[in-house]
Every structure is written in C-alpha cells, then in structure tokens.
Structure 1
Amino acid sequence: MIDLHCHLDLYPEPSLIAKECASRGLNVLSVTTTPSAWNGTNAIAQRRTKTALGLHPQLANERYGELELFDELLPRVPYIGEIGLDGSKNYRQHWNKQLTVFNHILDSCVKAGGRIMSIHSRRAAPTVLDCIENFADAGIPILHWFSGSTRDLQRAIDMGCWFSVGPPMLFTAKGKDLVTRIPRSRVIPESDGPFAEHNGQPLLPWHTAMVYRELSNLWSVAFETVDELLTENFVTLIGHHEF
C-alpha cells in the first residue's frame, strides 16, 4: 500500500511508526514542515520510505530564514513537501511572506531540474495554480487534500496536476464529488497523519486502506482493482526516482 503524504516526525514515537510501515511493506512519503527537520526525519526513514524537503506555508513567516538551508539540501532530495499557500484566516496576514517562500521554492526546483512536489492549497487554490503555472518546469505537482472549487479542480487537471486523497476527503460530500471528477490515473493515496484524524484519532500511514475501500465504493470497482490502479499510478508518478 501507499501513503504519499504523512508527517512521520510529528507522531509521538516516529521511529516505531516508521518501523511498522516497513514491516507492512508500505511505500511512504514522509513530508517535513521545515528544512531543519529534514535530517532528523530522514534518519528515521526505513525501507520504502522517502523523506521530502518542505517549508509549510503556515510556518513561512516564522521559518523564512531557512530558505538558504532548503537550497543547500535540495540537490540531495528528489521529493519536496509540504509546501504551498494557506489562505485561511489565521495565516492570511502572512500571505506575502508565504508567496515569497513558495515562489522561491518553485524557482529553486526549476533550477534543480524539477522535483516531485506535495502542495498545500487550502483556501488558496487559484493562486497556487498561478504559481505552478509561472514555474512550469518546477516538476510534478501533487495537490494534497485539494478542497478548491470544481473550476479550480478542472484547471488543475488541465495543467497536469496529481491529487493525493485521504480518508477525510472521502468522508465528505464535497470531497467525494471532487474525487469523482479527478482522472483515476492521477489519484494517489495519503493519510496526512497525524494531522488528519478519523473518529477522533490521528490517522496512521496504513490507514490509507480506508482510501482504497472508499474508492472501491465510489468507483464501483473491486478493492483489488483499486489496488492495481493506485500501484500503477505510483510507478508512473515516481518514474525513474528511487523509492
């Protein structure tokens, strides 16, 4: 199974979670929220786990000074995340700093030859898409937990974006509607644990099994068919990158 967006370092016992992922044979993309977290998070990575280099938009104002470290680490890292923009009320006041950070990261990815990027776009989808368009050679954008309008979604699809989908998205009417509109060949599972929860408990990487089950129901195909399709998507997405 696959979890293309979780925060391994933010679980209470990250090493134990990482080892359990390995024992279950999960392919996990462990995203970070600051460049300074990358080395420590990468140190706990097990077999079939890759650590992405990120600077979360909610921390852009506070950690702006880590862009230099981001650029230093970038040549070593094929996966980027979590990056993006957050237009919600608590973070809108730092919008300009968020834009500066996001644009800098995209520009750095262009200069580095492109990266696979896990992108946050809450209440900011149109501007996120503008930025991706402005840096078209930055790599492959994966819109994590997309919650924009259907118009934004269609634009993202037309631009070639991918979409990581977790259980919370599939347990809401709007989320289900968006997922039905996404080409099946560009859907990839995520947990977003431990931030995302189910029944009041943080999601764990292996809880992406719920994504497979819900997609089976939504697409009216067998669980095994979903597994095959998502595995094909994963192989297509990572291309020549090691995982």
Structure 2
Amino acid sequence: MIDFHCHLDLYPDPVEMVREARSREMFVLSVTTTPTAFEGTSALASDAPRIRTALGLHPQLAHERKGELALFDELVSTTRYVGEVGLDGGPELKRYWRDQQFVFDRILNACSTAGGRILSIHSRRAAGQVLDALERHPGAGVPVLHWFSGTRRELKRAVAMGCWFSVGPAMLAGEKGRALAAEMPQEKVLTETDGPFAQLDGRAACPWDAKGAIAALSAVWGKSELEIEARLLSNLKALVSSA
C-alpha cells in the first residue's frame, strides 16, 4: 500500500505508527508542516527505507513561520521530497494571503535552484493560484496535488500541466471527490490518507487506511482492487524514476 501524504510526526505515538507502517511494508511519504520539524521527523523513520520524509512549510502556517525559509533553503538539498507546501484560500486565512504567496514562491524557487523536487501540494480553495505559481516556476519539479478539490476546469488545466494527484478515502467518500478522481489520468494518481487530520468513522486516519482509497478507486474506475494496486505501484515507480 501507498500513503503519499501523511503527517507521521503529528500522531499521539509517532514511533508506534512508524513501526506498524513498516511491519505492513508500506510506502509512506511523511510530510512536515515546518522546516524545524524536518530533522526530527526524518529521524523517526531512519531505519524504515520505505518511509520518506518531505520538507514542508504549510500554507496555514506561512505567516507564522516565514522566518524559517532560510532553514528550508539549507535543508532542501537533503531530500528529494517537499511537502506540505502550497496555498490555502480559506476565508480565515485571507489576511495572510500575501505571506502565503511569498512563502510558496520562495519554496518553488528553492526547489528549482536545487534541480527540482517531488512536491506534495496543498491547494484548498486556491487551485488556480497554485497552478499559476507552478507555471512561474517550471523547474520546481513534479507537482503532486494532494486532496485536490478544485473545479473540473482547474483539474483539466492541472492535467494539461502534467500534475499528479494523491487521493484518500476521506476525499473519495464525497460525490465531488469521486467525480474528480474519475477524470484524473489513472497513470498519475497515488493514494494518501492525510492522517491524522483526515477523519474516518470519527477517528484519525492511519497510513494503512489508504486501502479504503483503493476500494473507492476500484468502483470509480471500474477495475478490480488488484488492478488498482498494480497501477498504483507502477505509478509510484514512474514518479520516483522521473524526478
């Protein structure tokens, strides 16, 4: 199984979460929300080769943590993965929009300077602006739009730009999420959970709950779960080899 967007460091017992994910032989992309969290989160999975840690600065924290951009610049050379980064157009964050744009542009520029990275990108209520930023920084790397919730038009634009997508059981529980997944290129989709933020049956999603996304994609794409699993594994190998 693959969980391409999970906050391992934010579970009540991160060590146990890593142990269980490793015992299940999962591939997990462990995203971070601040540069200062990167080294400690990386240490959690130091003996788990299938768990990779991404360097992030979450858009909801951009106004508070923009002072950590210098640290981001120092650390970006140590990992192939960057996330969670992006923009958030939620009304509660409107007053911090310029900070978000400044931080995201700086991050994309740093990734370009480093030769490109695999990016796990947040785009809630800001898909168009995220795509605009990616067009300004074509060398930033391979964008993977996490939990994409934009319009069909924005989806088509993202597909035309070569974006990838990570989808989880919480996203696919809704009609809109399933409709968007139906139009995503199957060769550029990976599964995620967004745990522990995403909730399933009143509890925090765990990495192995990505299996629920496999079942949902099976229904959406009209293929068996075995076919979906094979497709996802092939996708992951293609993404890693292309970056």
TM-score by shorter chain over 0.5: yes
Gaps of 5+ in 1: none
Distance 2:226 2:128 in 1: 35
1:91 Cα deviation from its structure 2 partner:
1.1
**Could you tell me how far apart the structure 2 residues matched to 1:104 and 1:34 are?**
14
Aligned counterparts, 1:41-52, within 5 A: 41-45=41-45, 46-52=48-54
Question: Which residue number in structure 2 is paired with residue 2 of structure 1?
Answer: 2
Q: Distance in 2 between matches of 1:240 and 1:138?
A: 13
User: Which residue matches 2:97?
Assistant: 95
Corresponding residue of 1:34: 34
Structure 1: distance between partners of 2:70 and 2:91: 28
Letter in 2 for 1:67: L
Question: 2:190 maps to which residue?
Answer: 188
1:183-214, Cα deviation, whole Å (9 max, x unpaired):
10011000000000111110000000001111
- 1:90 Cα deviation from its structure 2 partner: 1.3
The partner residue of 1:122 within 105, 121, 124 is 124
Q: Secondary structure at the match of 2:92?
A: coil
Whole-Å Cα distance in 1 between the matches of residues 225 and 169 of structure 2?
15
Distance 1:151 1:217 in 2: 23
Give 1:218 deviation, angstroms: 1.2
One of 82, 85, 88 as aligned partner of 1:83: 85
* Equivalent residue number for residue 201 of structure 1: 203
> 1:214-237, CA deviations, whole angstroms, 9 ceiling, x for partnerless residues?
111111111100010000000001
| CA distances 1:157-188 after superposition (whole Å, capped 9, x unpaired) | 00000000001111111111100000100110
Secondary structure of 1:80's match? Answer: strand
TM-score (structure 2 length as normaliser)? 0.98
Q: Which residue of 2 aligns with 1:64?
A: 66
1:11-68 CA deviation, whole Å, 9 max, x = no partner? 0000110011000000000000000000110000123100000000000000000000
- SS across alignment from 1:91: helix
Candidates 156, 161, 164, aligned match of 1:162: 164
Report the count of equivalent residues. 241
Q: Share of identical aligned residues, percent?
A: 51
Match status 1:54 vs 2:56: yes
The amino acid across from 1:21 in the alignment is A
Cross-structure match for 1:13: 13
Counterpart CA distance in 2 for 1:93 and 1:11 is: 29
Q: What whole-Å deviation, never above 9, does each CA across 1:137-176 have from its counterpart, x for those lacking one?
A: 1000000000000000000000000000001111111111
Instruction: Render the CA deviation track for 1:105-129: whole Å, top value 9, x for unaligned.
Output: 0000000000000000000011000
Output the CA distance in 1 between the equivalents of 2:186 and 2:100.
31
Q: Which residue is equivalent to 1:171? A: 173
Is 2:114 the counterpart of 1:107?
no
Task: After the TM superposition, list the runs of 4 or more consecutive aligned residues in structure 1 that deviate by more than 4 angstroms.
Answer: none
**Structure 1 letter corresponding to 2:148:** F
Structure 1 length-normalised TM: 0.98
Partner amino acid, structure 2, of 1:227: E
**Whole-Å separation in 2 of the counterparts to 1:52 and 1:41:** 9
How far apart are residue 240 of structure 1 and its match? 6.5
CA RMSD after TM alignment: 0.8
Q: Identify the residue that residue 228 of structure 1 maps to in structure 2.
A: 230
Task: Give, in whole Å, the separation in 2 of the partners of 1:147 and 1:218.
Answer: 17
Q: Tell me the distance in 2 between the aligned counterparts of 1:130 and 1:208.
A: 30
